[in-house]
Amino acid sequence: MTTRLTLPRPDDWHLHLRDGAMLAGIAPESARHFARAIIMPNLVPPVVTGREAQAYRDRILAVTGAGFTPLMTLYLTEATDPADVVAAHRDGIITAVKLYPAGATTNSASGVRDFDRVRGVLDAMAEAGIPLLCHGEVTDPEIDIFDREAVFIDRVLDPIRRRTPELRVVMEHITTLDAVAYVRSQPERLGATITTHHLVINRNHILVGGIRPHYYCLPVAKRETHRLALVEAATSGDARFFLGTDSAPHADDAKESACGCAGCFTATNTMSVLAQVFDQAGALDRLDGFVSRNGAAFYGLPVNEDTLTLEKTDSRVTYPARIETGAGPVTVFDPGFPLYWQVAQDARS
Ligand code: NCD
Ligand code: ZN
């Protein structure tokens, strides 16, 4: 028996596409299913000016073609010029600005150390209605890695929001009950993205029975109670929660190493995994909110007019174990359970 589900074409509100040979190899994995994506600026060197964002957008479009819309972001540094940010937004080059606390994650060395030094930019963004996307982890070496998100809320996020209440903020890739509760406690101007992998794995998946580098990402997956809170939030229908896959490719030799990089690559099978998660939660009727509607509403963008159809089959769905790129093979996220949902109709084909 086949069950079908047709959704407005989904969007990915947090995506790493990289550059060069890696971009060429992995961008089609997202463009196949998603209409639009918020593109992370953590290249080396990072995308810090409107001009750089425009050039990066052109490099992405050269790979994906015009059927996919990259929504660009700027990497906030202590030297960011508020006028450049406002102009890039006014000219339609950027959609948002990304805050990485310095040293929090892959390629974040240029991030913010002293939050007082970016007040002028945050004020200008609040006035122009430009969202701030937060990698919500403190980097203080004293703080346990499993507590870094909760501490970020208290020490950084809440003070920023109190000082600049008009600023629109997205808490990205939330991993804790604390983040879900914080979002719910705030009536306005705060949304949160949830990744595919954080709906599926907890910290045991990374560490039990051997260390599994392809499950290591930042923020690191937490204990099961937190995963359950994320599933509840994603499937609740609350429009403040929406998909941001944080699909973050690294070549396998960089992951399977004595000091492996953080990042899970989920672009290829994200829609299959999500359909399965929502089906299991008895919430298939809310999948369209999570993947196709809530994020668009937060950003004030229209819901996509074309559609994506998922189908559930009796036999196990297969997908490539890895994507071969000119920058090396990239292992596709393994949810650890068989998948029965697949994308049936590819509007790009
Ligand atoms: C991301 C990457 O590889 O760029 N890694 C990750 O684990 N999520 C960076 C990030 O978003 O933190
Ligand atoms: Zn990310």
Per-domain boundaries in the chain: 4-345
Atom of ligand 1 nearest to the CA of 262: 7
Closest Cα to residue 241, out of 189, 289, 303?
Answer: 289
Atom of ligand 1 nearest to the CA of 218: 7
Mean pLDDT within 167-175: 98
Atom of ligand 1 nearest to the CA of 249: 3
Mutate-to-test residue for ligand 1 from 13, 23, 40, 218, highest number of ligand atoms within 8 A of CB:
218
> Is residue 220's pLDDT more than 60?
yes
Tens digit of pLDDT for each residue in 88-141?
999 999 999 999 998 877 777 788 998 889 999 999 999 999 999 999 999 999
Mean pLDDT within 194-214: 98
Closest Cα to residue 18, out of 52, 75, 60, 69?
Answer: 60
Report the separation in Å between the CA atom of 315 and the middle of ligand 1, taken as the mean of its atom positions.
Answer: 33
Report the separation in Å between the CA atom of 14 and the middle of ligand 2, taken as the mean of its atom positions.
Answer: 6
Residue nearest to atom 5 of ligand 1 (CA): 263
The pLDDT of residue 349: 42
Half-sphere exposure of 89 toward its Cβ, with a 13 Å CA cutoff?
22
Report the separation in Å between the CA atom of 127 and the middle of ligand 1, taken as the mean of its atom positions.
Answer: 29
> How many Cβ atoms are within 10 Å of 311's Cβ, its own excluded?
17
Mutate-to-test residue for ligand 1 from 217, 255, 264, highest number of ligand atoms within 8 A of CB:
217
> Is residue 347's pLDDT more than 80?
no
Residue 174 DSSP code: -
Report the separation in Å between the CA atom of 2 and the middle of ligand 2, taken as the mean of its atom positions.
Answer: 35
The pLDDT of residue 346: 53
Report the separation in Å between the CA atom of 125 and the middle of ligand 1, taken as the mean of its atom positions.
Answer: 24
> Is residue 2's pLDDT more than 80?
no
The pLDDT of residue 10: 98
Determine the topology of domain 4-345 in CATH: TIM Barrel (3.20.20)
Q: Strands, E, within 259-347: which ranges?
A: 307-312, 322-325, 328-331, 341-345
> Is residue 170's pLDDT more than 80?
yes
In angstroms, the CA 176 to CA 159 distance is 19
In angstroms, the CA 135 to CA 319 distance is 30
Residue nearest to atom 6 of ligand 1 (CA): 263
> Is residue 251's pLDDT more than 70?
yes
Closest Cα to residue 104, out of 152, 56, 159, 41?
Answer: 152
**pTM for the predicted model, two decimal places:** 0.97
Active site residue 84: no
Residues 6+ apart with CB under 8 A from 332: 265, 266, 268, 269, 319, 320, 321, 322, 323
Atom of ligand 1 nearest to the CA of 14: 11
Q: What average pLDDT does the chain have?
A: 96
Tens digit of pLDDT for each residue in 293-311?
999 999 999 999 999 999 9
Q: From the candidates 84, 238, 246, 334, which is the catalytic residue?
A: 246
The pLDDT of residue 105: 74
Residue 274 DSSP code: H
The pLDDT of residue 107: 75
* Residue 345: band (very low, low, confident or very high) from pLDDT cuts 50, 70, 90: low
Six-digit token string for 175: 């991993």
Please tell me whether residue 47 adopts helix, strand or coil conformation: coil
Q: Considering only 99-108, 122-131, 197-206, 226-235, which range has the smallest mean pLDDT?
A: 99-108
Around ligand 1, the residues with Cβ closer than 6 Å are 16, 42, 105-106, 135, 217-218, 246, 248, 262-263
Half-sphere exposure of 255 toward its Cβ, with a 13 Å CA cutoff?
24
* Residue 187: band (very low, low, confident or very high) from pLDDT cuts 50, 70, 90: confident
In angstroms, the CA 229 to CA 82 distance is 37
